[in-house]
Amino acid sequence: LTDANFIGSMGKTIGYFASANPYAWYKNFLLGFVTNHATTFAYAVELGEFTIGAVLFFAACTELSAISNAVKREALSVAIIALVFGALMNANFYFAAGWTGPGTAGLNVVMFWIQIVLLYVTVKARMKHTA
C-alpha cells in the first residue's frame, strides 16, 4: 500500500518470476493469465494482503475480548476464511518466487504452515463457541 510503484511494476515482476521458474505449469499460468491481467493481479495482492491482516487482527482482538460467544463465533468464521486465503497467497508466492532463493522459499513455507496451524486452532475455537 505504501509503494507507489507496486502496481505499475507488477508486469515486470511477473516476468522475472516466470523467467526461470522450475514449475512449468505455474510458469504457463504466470505468462498467460497473470501477465495479461497484471494490474488487476497487483490490486488483488495489495488488497488481499491488507484485508487478511486486518481481519486476523480484529478477529484476535474479538477473541481476546469479553464479547458474546455469537460475536466471537462470527469473527472466527471470518478469520477462517482469511487464513485459507492467506495460505493460498503464500503457496502462490512460493510457486512464483520460491526458486529465487532459499530465504524466499523457506519463509513462504514457514508462513504457509503457520497459517495452517492457526487455521486448525481457529476452527477448534469456533467449534468451542458453537456449543
Residue 127 is placed in which grid cell? 467449534
- What pLDDT, in 10s, does the model give residues 73-113? 899 999 999 999 999 999 999 999 999 999 999 999 999 99
CA Rg value for the chain: 17
Span 3-30, average pLDDT: 94
Distance of CA 112 to the CA centre of its chain: 8
Tell me what pLDDT residue 130 has.
75
Neighbours of 47 (CB within 10 A): 11
Query: Would you say 118 and 86 are in contact if contact means Cβ atoms under 8 Å apart?
Result: no
pTM: 0.88
Q: Give every CB contact of residue 106 below 8 A, 6+ residues apart in sequence.
A: none
The H or E element spanning position 75 is helix 69-97
Q: What is the DSSP letter of 98?
A: G
Quote the cell numbers at residue 118.
492457526
Q: What is the mean pLDDT of the chain?
A: 92
**Could you tell me which residues come within 8 angstroms of residue 80 by beta carbon, excluding any fewer than 6 positions away?**
119, 122, 123, 126
Identify the helix (H) or strand (E) that includes residue 37.
Answer: none
